[in-house]
Structures are given as structure tokens and as C-alpha cells.
Structure 1
Amino acid sequence: MMTQIVFYVFAAVLVLSATMVVCARNPVHSVLFLILAFFNAAGLFLIAGAEFLAMTLVIVYVGAVAVLFLFVVMMLDVRFAQMREGVQRYAPIGAAVGGVLLVELIMAFTHWRVAGNIGQITHLVPSSPTRTNTAALGDVLYTHYIFLFQTCALVLLVAMIGAIVLTLRDRPTGRRQNIDRQHDRVPQESLEMLQVPLGAGVAAQGGFLRPHDSYDVAAVPGTYGTEAWRAREAAEQTQTALVVITPAQGAKGQDDE
């Protein structure tokens, strides 16, 4: 009896919060109602015994997606008054699409039938009172569907690498280091120990100090910040200064004569 009461409470709050997501005028309030709807859906999953889906819903959707929506809505200067100007124009189209979806849902629920041999269906993982759904789901993913699971991970990895490669730009201000030389460094090559008097502070000693060639030790020769880069920049500035030619005074008057 208590389970049914809790179910109806969660279901009622879920329906009301989902309705407010659509009907709320303030987009920040809509996102907050969406978070409330996710929490109530997680409670329904817990009542059904699917604790893995409940925790996934809270961690992924509430902790990442909904909070991201909230940050985007609060940080972007979106003029919602202008966005609502064309609502009345497209209202009949939206009503027609909603009516079609409503008819499809009614037809689906009216023809819903439960299979008579539902109790005879064999399960991939034998049920046990001491075994959780998370452990059973792990057995299914990492035994029967391990190749499909790893293939999905490989596809996501390729997509991530492709996005990085497509957006990567070679910038001259990038600092590159020789990894082997970086690992071989000793503290004396990158740190300078100072005896700072009590109460004087680091600013009185000239700020944070380190050897001038501390970056050159492990940096790739010629990259940004190295001695060779500074010399090349100085040479380019000197050459640019020499190329500049100032117009001679009185040239225009001589041409006019």
C-alpha cells in the first residue's frame, strides 16, 4: 500500500513538473522544473527496482545536461520576447502535429496486449535475490555484448579525435616541450631557492624568480618563449624598422615647381 502511495505522489509531481517545463514563461524556471521532473523520474525507477537507471538519470541528466541548460539560459542574453512573436503564426501547425501524436498514442495504448507466455521467456542472466540489477547489467554488457560495447567506445573515440584535429590550429605562440628532457629535469634547473625574511614577502625580493633559461632547458628549439624565438623576433622587428621610409620634406613642392 505504501509503495502505491509513493508511486502516485512521484507520478503526480512528475506530470505537473513536466507540464510546467512547457508552460513556464521564464526559461530559468523551465529548467528548474525539468530538474524536478528528472528527480521524480529517478524516484519511479527506484520504486521499480532499477537503481542503475535512477542513479544514471540523476548523475548524467541532472548533474550535467540540466545544469548545462541552466548555465546557458542564464549566461546568454536571449531575447525571448522576440522569439515568441511568431508563436501565433505557427500555432495551427503545432496543434496539428500534437493532434497526430495524440492519436498515435491513443491507438498504441488501445491495442496494447501483454504476452501470455511472459513468464516463460528465458533471461540472459539468471535472477537471484542477492544479485543487483547493476551487476546483472554489467554481466550482459561485458559478456554477451562486449564487442558492440567496445565498438561504440571506439566510434566515440574516433569522433573525439576528429573534432580535435578539425579544430586544431597551429599557432606560433604555442609552447612545445621535449617530453624526455622535461622528465629528466632536476629541481636546480627550474627552481631558485631564496631566503625570504619574515614578513618581507616575495614581492620585496622582486617577485617569483626562476632561472632565465629554465624554459629553454626542456623546450623544443625555436618555439615560443625560447632564446632562439626571442632573437628571431628581435631581428624581425629590427628589419621592419629599417624598411620604414619616411617621405622627404619638400618633395611635393619640388614636384610642383
Structure 2
Amino acid sequence: MSFTMIVFYVLSAILLFSAFRVITAKNPVHAALWLVLAFFTSAGHWLLLEAEFLAISLVLVYVGAVMVLFLFVVMMLDINVEQLREGFWRHFPLAATVGLIMAAEMALILAAPETRLADYAAAAPLAADASNVKQLGLEIYTTYLMPFELAAVLLLLAIVAAIALTQRERKDGKYIDPARQVEVKAADRVRVVKMDAVREEAPQTEAADAAQSQ
């Protein structure tokens, strides 16, 4: 067994364990930190595949930006962890079964003799000055253009669904109903009131006050 295969199996074991701890950790901060470890090990897999751009993008974007945002949100919000974990162990056997089935399917695909991984293994090594960024761009916007666009649409739908599910009316919050705001007319908000001009009286001097007192 080569050194590359040893590193691959070690990173895979760490990735599987950290992914399992993400869903079983009781503390959401600990779960986020386990997810950071999973991202780092995934970046190691990309490095083994000689995709340095994807590896550094995974570390910078997800570990350096997304997970920091998650940690800030988790630590600043008062989250009821016990309420979120209700029914976790009741549904765990079904989730574990589905996960094992998916893992078995991926193992069968990778072990099949007609898999495309053999073509990549038998391919000629890349040149020293080869740009995987350029090759990635060509593959995304030519061969995999439709799956790329479909993934973008699914992510947009996920964002909209997350906003719709978490948007609740709070009694102590102030918000504007967009539907009522659109229906408002200028005559409902602005009213012109006509008033007669009022002339202010000139201030009286002390001499005038004395004359009036006599």
C-alpha cells in the first residue's frame, strides 16, 4: 500500500468520524467545530486529487467565512437545544439505515470495473505548468453547464425556503407588511390642510405698558 493510499484512508476515517459527531454533538458550537474539521479533511482529499484550487477554496470560503458566521449566529442567539433535539434518537435508526445504503451504493460504484475512475487513473500525468483552475472552468461551463445551473437554482430555492420557514410574526418586533405597503396611495399618507394666516402681535415696550397703566 502506497503512502498516498494510507493518507487517503486516514483522512477518510477522520472525515467520517467528524461528520458523525456533527449530528450527534449536543452542543451546537461543538457541532460547528466538528464540521470545521470535516471541511479540513475534505480539503485534504482535494489535495490528493491534485485539485489545489478546490482545496484552498474549501478552506477559505467554508472554514474561513461560512463556519465563522455559523459560530457567531449560534453563540449570539438563545437557542433551545433540547427542543431542537426532540425525536433525534427516535428517527436515528431510519437515518442510519439510509446513510448505510447510500454508502454501500457509492462503494459499489467506485468498485465497479466500468467506473470512470479507472480512466482518470490511466490518464497521462499533468504537466508542471498545468492550471487546474482553467480546466475546472472549462468543465463547469461546457460539459457540466446544465448541472451547474441546476445546482444554483436548488441553492436559491433552499435560501428562499429557509427564509420562509424561519419567518414568524413576533409581538415585540416591528416589521412592515410588503403587501400593505404596496397598496398604500399618496392620498392616504399625505393630507394638505388649509389654514388662515395668523399675524403675530408686535412685542410691547415698557413705555407702552406704562402709558396703558395710567
Tell me which interval the TM-score lies in, with the shorter structure as reference length. 0.5 to 0.7
Show the counterpart of 1:192.
Answer: none
Residue by residue, what CA displacement relative to the aligned partner does 1:174-212 show, whole Å, maximum 9, x if unpaired?
xxxxxxxxxxxxxxxxxxxxxxxxxxxxxxxxxxxxxxx
CA distance in 2 between partners of 1:56 and 1:75 (Å): 27
Unaligned runs of 5+ in 2: 158-176, 183-189, 196-214
**1:73 deviation in Å?**
1.1
Show the counterpart of 2:79.
Answer: 78
Amino acid at match of 1:98: A
Map residues 56-75 of structure 1 onto 2, 5 A cutoff: 56-75=57-76
Residue by residue, what CA displacement relative to the aligned partner does 1:198-235 show, whole Å, maximum 9, x if unpaired?
xxxxxxxxxxxxxxxxxxxxxxxxxxxxxxxxxx99x9
* Greater share of residues in helix: 2
Show the counterpart of 1:99.
Answer: 97
Amino acid at match of 2:64: G
CA distance in 1 between partners of 2:79 and 2:101 (Å): 35
Residue by residue, what CA displacement relative to the aligned partner does 1:115-158 show, whole Å, maximum 9, x if unpaired?
288549xx9xx95442121122234446x369869978x989x9
Show the counterpart of 2:24.
Answer: 23
Show the counterpart of 2:129.
Answer: 130
- The 3 A distance-change label for structure 1 pair 149 and 83 is closer
Show the counterpart of 1:250.
Answer: none
Show the counterpart of 2:34.
Answer: 33
Amino acid at match of 1:25: K
Cα RMSD for the two superposed structures: 4.7
- The 3 A distance-change label for structure 1 pair 99 and 16 is closer
Residue by residue, what CA displacement relative to the aligned partner does 1:64-84 show, whole Å, maximum 9, x if unpaired?
322222122111111112333
3-state DSSP class of the match of 2:4?
Answer: helix
Show the counterpart of 2:53.
Answer: 52
TM-score (norm 1): 0.48
Moved more, 25-34 or 54-63: 54-63
Unaligned runs of 5+ in 1: 160-165, 171-231, 240-257
